[in-house]
Copies of this chain bind each other. A is one copy, B any other.
């Protein structure tokens, strides 16, 4: 019972409120979503290079996430191959950069 997106409305699993933050948290909360954005932060990667960067995750999920992230407008498939961040995606990725330093301090 995959939740269908009602015409024009961005309806993501687990977020029936319509609040965009919920849709975003849900999208980013799926496995490998955050990781994909992270791995693409510097430069575009081919699907296989991305898979290698993502600890050889299953191509099934990666393709699913890439499709979702493309639909969301965060990732694009460049002409000539290779996945890269869109301007919007780069902007989103910037939001997560402080996470890097935080993680270093966390670690404990």
Tell me if A49 counts as interface (CB < 8 A to partner B).
no
Majority SS at the chain A contact face: helix
By a CB distance below 8 angstroms, the chain B residues around A88 are: 106
A48 to B44, CA, bound (A): 43
What is the copy number of this chain in the assembly?
Answer: 2
Chain A stretch 13-72: residues in CB contact (< 8 A) with chain B: 14-17, 19-26, 28-35, 38, 55, 57, 72
Q: What is the CB-to-nearest-CB distance from A22 to chain B, in angstroms, rounded to a whole number?
A: 8
Is A73 touching B25 in the complex (CB atoms < 8 A)? no
Is B99 touching A24 in the complex (CB atoms < 8 A)? yes
Q: What is the CB-to-nearest-CB distance from A70 to chain B, in angstroms, rounded to a whole number?
A: 13
Is A24 touching B57 in the complex (CB atoms < 8 A)? no
